[in-house]
Amino acid sequence: MNKSETNKQIIEKYYTSISSGNFETVMALMHEKVTYNVIGFLPFSGRWEGRDRVYSVLVPAVMASFKEGSVKFAEKWKIMSADEKRVTGLMSGEAITLEGKKFETTYCQIFKIENSIIREVHEFLDTYLNYKTHDPKNLPEEADDYGPMKF
């Protein structure tokens, strides 16, 4: 199997693990020093350094906007392209907000993979929807760097 196919399989496993709620596997697929870039100029945007920080600060702050049990991420996903260094994928996201409104969006993610582990993610999303949905008070600290993504 060539490296492009291996990288594609890593992201397929990433999406199926998100869909099934298996976050131990999701985290195991990411380097402990992963860089997670979220597009935009919102409180949740910016460069987040480290897998543990992403999953102990950013993700819980996002999830705090949704009714428990209503979140369905990656029920639909598609790999758009894969090569020896990167994989690009689309992922669905659905939930019910605390106010009872339906949250429905598509994420575009570009993954950088080194030595069969995710080293960097660039996430593109509907910034207006996220502005309307996520309360900045749920975020206990800011990203490591805020502003336009660094490439």
What is the distance, to the nearest Å, from the Cα of residue 6 to the centroid of all Cα atoms in its chain?
20
Are residues 20 and 4 in contact, defined by beta-carbon separation less than 8 angstroms? Answer: no
Measured CA to CA, the distance from residue 109 to residue 124 in angstroms comes to 6
The C-alpha atoms of residue 28 and residue 2 are separated, in whole angstroms, by 22
Confirm if 6 and 102 have CB atoms less than 8 A apart.
no
Residue pair 115/46 in contact by the 8 Å Cβ criterion: no
Assessment of whether the complete model's pTM goes beyond 0.85 = yes
Which pLDDT tens digit goes with each residue over 4-24? 999 999 999 999 999 999 999
Q: Where are the domains of the chain?
A: 3-136
Q: Per-residue pLDDT averaged across 45-62, rounded?
A: 95
Residue recorded with tokens 């709620």? 21
pLDDT for position 149:
67
Task: Note the CATH architecture for domain 3-136.
Answer: Roll (3.10)
Higher pLDDT, 144 or 84: 84
Residues for the chain: how many in total? 151
Let me know: does 24 contact 13? Beta carbons within 8 Å: no
How far apart are the C-alpha atoms of 146 and 44, rounded to whole Å? Answer: 9
Spatial contact of 107 and 93, defined as CB atoms under 8 Å apart: yes
